[in-house]
Amino acid sequence: MKKTILIVLLFFLSIPIIAQIRYDEINSPNLNVARQLKIKLPKNYDPSSELKHPLIIVFDGDYLFEPVAGQVDFQTYFDDMPGSIVVGIVQGDERYYDGYCDEVTGLPKEGGLRFHNFISDELIPYLDNNYNTSKFRVAVGHDLMGNFINSYLFKEDPLFQAYVSISPDLSGTVKDYLGKRLESFRDDIFYYMATSDKDMPGIRASVLTANSQISEVKNQFLTYYFDDFKNETHYTLVTSAISRSFDKIFELYKPLREKELEEKVLPYEGTLDDYLVDRYDRIQKLFGIKKEITEEEFEKVVKVAEQREDLESLEKIGKLAKKLNPESLLGTYYLAQYAEKIGKTKKAKKLYESALTLNDVSHINRDFIFSKIDELTVVDTDEEGEEDNDEDN
């Protein structure tokens, strides 16, 4: 009854995105049946483009797909995560058989093993062949399927790089070995798990046991997040968990925010152009997406450089901005500022003048640039006069 209420509630919350969903079907030799898929592509998705998108596989797609797709829409609107391909697997009455696991090991067997192989051997290759998918894959599961997705962690090469396990019904010894398995990874892996104070007692106890073990793991490649929600049931915690998990998994992708500027950029040992380059190289390596540094982010880092009284960083940020976008006045403007600050008045004036011939940026006032040119013209004239007087003497 509770699950029925949740499904009805989520249906009404997700009405705006229904029109954007496409339906597909894939024949499965493993399952000896065709499986239905719900697919949500990113806004302005272009199949002919070389742009790749993270792939989010939603187990229990019957009721979990719409809230996931809605959250992806919300976070991509604010550029808090990349446009992603969301695929929901319709399981219906087959859900129990799909998630069937050995009582001792907690790993898939019989129908569960066939479904496990369907995902890895048939569904993922099918999606990779038909859509512009990146190498970054996220698995989302709730309850029975929240436990099931853990089976992919125990493959030699994990199928997914991020796992969202919402109130998982952990079975067998999986809960005892999750921590050990997560400790062994030598490539980036994200793991999110959630429960609540009003969760089903047996599930909550298992999740808390698993969390206590995972929390002890010391592995620089593991990013682990855990939520213990208050006043949420086994079903109502779903939407909160989806929001929180994506917020954490895609934290690196977000634009530079004040917290990162204060905690990481300000104390960074080295010039700040290196921080920006390293940050965006990590985004490309992790998500398979080449994201451009925005004008606003350049400006924020320049302000940090000023706060640090770091002229070397100002110069190098100017060179980086000019290299990445030579048609914009941004890089030339920063180089003009640098030249002015080190006393190279003539060079600064020429750079400001050349900046005016380039494309505008939103946060730099051209009237201010004109005033700087006028100011430096006066300074330049005074300096020439002083030189003439020195020659006369």
Residue 387 has a pLDDT of: 42
Using 70 as the pLDDT threshold, list the residues of the chain that sit under it: 1-19, 379-393
User: In sequence order, which ranges of 14-152 are alpha helices (DSSP H)?
Assistant: 15-18, 61-77, 95-98, 111-117, 124-130, 144-148
Residue 199 has a pLDDT of: 97
CA distances (Å), origin 190, targets 136, 180, 225, 379, 385: 11, 15, 8, 57, 65
Residue 15 has a pLDDT of: 45
Class of domain 2-253 (CATH, top level) = alpha beta
**pLDDT, tens only, 362-391:** 888 889 899 989 988 876 655 554 443 444
278-392 CATH choice from 3.40.47.10, 1.25.40.10, 3.20.20.70, 3.30.390.10: 1.25.40.10
- Run of H or E residues at 359: none
DSSP state letters, 168-216: ----TTHHHHHHHHHHT--S-EEEEEEEEEES-HHHHHHHHHHHHHHTT
In this structure, are strands 33-40 and 85-89 parallel, antiparallel, or unpaired? Answer: antiparallel
Residue 385 has a pLDDT of: 44
Rounded distance between C-alpha atoms, residue 148 and residue 64, angstroms = 15
Residue 230 has a pLDDT of: 97
CA distances (Å), origin 27, targets 24, 32, 33, 88, 89: 10, 8, 6, 15, 13
Rounded distance between C-alpha atoms, residue 267 and residue 369, angstroms = 31
Count of other CB atoms within 10 angstroms of residue 267: 9
* Extents of the domains making up the chain: 2-253, 278-392
Residue 386 has a pLDDT of: 44
Token pair belonging to 377: 């013209």
One-letter identity of residue 270: G
3-class secondary structure, 165: strand
- Which percentage of the chain shows pLDDT scores above 70? 91
Residues in CB range of 264: below 8 A, 6 or more apart: 275
**pLDDT, tens only, 11-30:** 554 444 444 789 999 999 99
- Run of H or E residues at 222: strand 222-233
Residue 383 has a pLDDT of: 55
CA–chain centroid gap for 45, Å, is: 18
CA–chain centroid gap for 211, Å, is: 23
> Rounded to two decimals, what is the model's pTM?
0.85
CA distances (Å), origin 147, targets 102, 254, 372: 12, 29, 63
Eight-class DSSP state of 108: B
Residue 11 has a pLDDT of: 52
- Run of H or E residues at 56: strand 53-58
Residues in CB range of 335: below 8 A, 6 or more apart: 315, 318, 319, 322, 351
Q: Helix 61-77 vs helix 237-249: angle between axes, to the nearest 10 degrees?
A: 50
